[in-house]
Amino acid sequence: MAKWETIEVERIGRVSVIRFNRPEKLNSFNDTMSSEFKLAIEEANEDPDVGAIVSTGNGRAYSAGADVGGFNASFEQGAQKKGPARRRQSAFEPQFLMESKPIIGAINGIAVGMAMTGPLLFDTLLASTEARFSMRFAAIGLTPEIGSSWMLPRVIGLHNAREMMLTGRIYTAAECQEFGLIRRLYEPEDLVPTAIALAAEIALNPISTLSTIKRMIWDDVSASDVASVWRKSSEIFARARSTTEHREALLALKDKRAARFHDSEYMAELADRISKGSS
């Protein structure tokens, strides 16, 4: 288990709760926080006892985005010496989050810049009534990052996305719920407990099944050939019917009990019985 400087990590049942912890800097991302956030997600993904992740922040901000102090230093150094920009270790990489266990964003306060564009890649977003959102890039002479010019229109519609990106305006949580950016709003004290409960519900399901569903969603959202989507869906469904997880679900329904998806010893024994044709 890593020792954290800029985040806090807590296990609650099968849920890993990751909190940004630079409240004096509005949880803005420096290199350390970017790296630690990615490492915390990697640890959760590698832990078989974790089924889902909640991302939130301490203090009055989810995150104010990138630490502009670092941007200014880079700009001044660049004026003296030209060279390739160093790429920070960030969790906000499409392939990384596509392959991650489900992540719930619990947006507790200010979410600006990369703190808004990055969570577009999460699996769902909940927010406090006190949250505020902004695609602030145009207002500071920058352009939208992390593929958000592709992603945001697919989440909230083309015209809403254009308005957010071109104005750089700060929007209320209620406005963003109306756009469809946020799934639900909660009072500040209810936000994280509700996000944990939702993550726990998701985490009850088989990890391998969740992974397959996430991959299907990402692949199909950008597919242009509808017939191939239908065909692939049928093929994946047929394979799922032969899995140990599906067999355990049927047995649990028959016996009127909870499925034992996360009992590794039991599931290994069941898989062995299936292979021998005795289940």
Q: pLDDT for 8-31, tens place per residue?
A: 999 999 999 999 999 999 999 999
pTM for this prediction:
0.90
State the CB neighbour count (10 A cutoff) for residue 230: 11
> Into which CATH architecture does domain 7-203 fall?
Alpha-Beta Complex (3.90)
Say how many C-beta atoms besides its own lie within 10 A of residue 159's C-beta.
10
What digits encode the pLDDT tens for the residues 61-110? 999 999 876 555 544 555 555 554 455 678 999 999 999 999 999 999 99
Distances (CA, A) of 188 to 60, 63, 125, 183, 236: 10, 16, 14, 15, 40
User: Domain locations in the chain?
Assistant: 7-203, 207-275
- What digits encode the pLDDT tens for the residues 48-61? 999 999 999 999 99
> What is the predicted pLDDT for the residue at 75?
45
Q: Cα 67–73–76 angle (5° rounding)? A: 145
The mean pLDDT of 32-38, rounded to a whole number, is: 97
> What percentage of the chain has pLDDT greater than the value 70?
92
Q: Which residues contact 172 (CB under 8 A, 6 or more apart)?
A: 131, 132
Q: What is the pLDDT at residue 223?
A: 86
